[in-house]
């Protein structure tokens, strides 16, 4: 099995690159942001609770997202690997993910970390907010709150996986194809 974490701040291109990587490497895409937005669209109690938190740019509680990932792993027993996008976002989520994968006798191969400057992140997200319908993209203050939350709570995920020498930094600015090629160069090392 090949399990990759695509890591980076809001707007760094995780979703864009995930779509391409899952096709090339036959991985199952697991995005906690997408899973949460499905709950919101279905107006479930979990979705309603999550929406209030996401609209402020804050993180949804660990137990909620860990439960979602656990169910998604169970629902895909024959997958040849997973691409995690937007998860894990805290050290507790990282530890939980490692335990869940250990139960399947597998582990994270690499954490590919997309590096993008803050001005570019804000520009991309405001631009997407014009058409995406995502309420957390339309207001610059909320976008900045998401970036602050990333530095406060999520950047530690890279520290956590660095102790196992699993983090690879990738320049996340340039064309989508240039960044994809740089990501593939890393992933290929685990498939050859």
- Residues with active-site annotation: 14, 89, 128, 134, 146
Beta carbon nearer to ligand AP5, 129 or 192: 129
Neighbours of 91 (CB within 10 A): 15
- The stretch among 21-29, 105-113, 124-132, 160-168 that binds ligand AP5 (CB under 6 A) is 124-132
Under 8 Å between Cβ of 161 and 3: no
Choose between 82 and 105: whose C-beta lies nearer to ligand AP5: 82
93 CA to centre of own chain: 12
Residue pair 85/142 in contact (Cβ under 8 Å)? The answer is no
The CA–CA distances, whole Å, from 165 to 1, 161, 168 equal 19, 6, 9
Site string for ligand AP5, 35-74 (x = CB under 6 A): -x----------------xx--xxxx----x---------
> Do 136 and 192 meet the contact criterion of CB atoms below 8 Å apart?
no
The residue within the footprint of ligand AP5, chosen from 7, 33, 82, 157 (CB under 6 A), is 33
- Of 81 and 86, the one with the shorter C-beta distance to ligand AP5 is 86
Q: Among 14, 39, 73, 97, which residue interacts with ligand AP5 (rule: CB under 6 A)?
A: 14
Binding string, residues 82-101; x marks residues near ligand AP5 by CB under 6 A: ----xx-x---x--------
CA separation for the pair 134, 128 (Å, rounded): 8
Sheet strand arrangement including 28-31 = 28-31, 81-85, 2-7, 110-115, 167-171
The verdict on 108 binding ligand AP5 (CB under 6 A) reads no
Residue sitting closest to ligand AP5 (CB): 33
Q: What is the closest distance, in whole angstroms, from the C-beta atom of residue 104 to ligand AP5 in the complex?
A: 19
Task: Check binding of 12 to ligand AP5 (CB under 6 A).
Answer: yes
Distance CA 71, CA 96 (A): 13
**# binding residues, ligand AP5 (CB under 6 A):** 29
């Amino acid at each position: 099995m090949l399990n990759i974490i695509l890591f980076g701040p809001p707007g760094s291109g995780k979703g864009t690159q995930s779509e391409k990587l899952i096709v090339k490497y036959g991985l199952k895409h697991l995005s906690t942001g997408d899973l949460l937005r499905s709950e919101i669209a279905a107006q479930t109690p979990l979705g309603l609770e999550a929406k209030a938190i996401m609209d402020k740019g804050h993180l949804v509680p660990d137990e909620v997202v860990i439960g979602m990932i656990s169910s998604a792993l169970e629902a895909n027993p024959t997958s040849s690997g997973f691409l995690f996008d937007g998860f894990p976002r805290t050290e507790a989520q990282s530890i939980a993910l490692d335990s869940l994968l250990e139960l399947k006798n597998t582990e994270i191969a690499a954490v590919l970390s997309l590096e993008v400057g803050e001005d570019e992140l804000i520009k991309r997200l405001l631009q997407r907010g014009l058409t995406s319908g995502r309420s957390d993209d339309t207001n610059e203050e909320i976008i900045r709150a998401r970036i602050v939350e990333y530095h406060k709570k999520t950047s530690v995920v890279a520290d956590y996986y660095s102790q196992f020498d699993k983090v690879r930094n990738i320049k996340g600015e340039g064309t989508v194809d240039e960044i994809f090629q740089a990501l593939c160069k890393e992933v290929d090392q685990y498939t050859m």
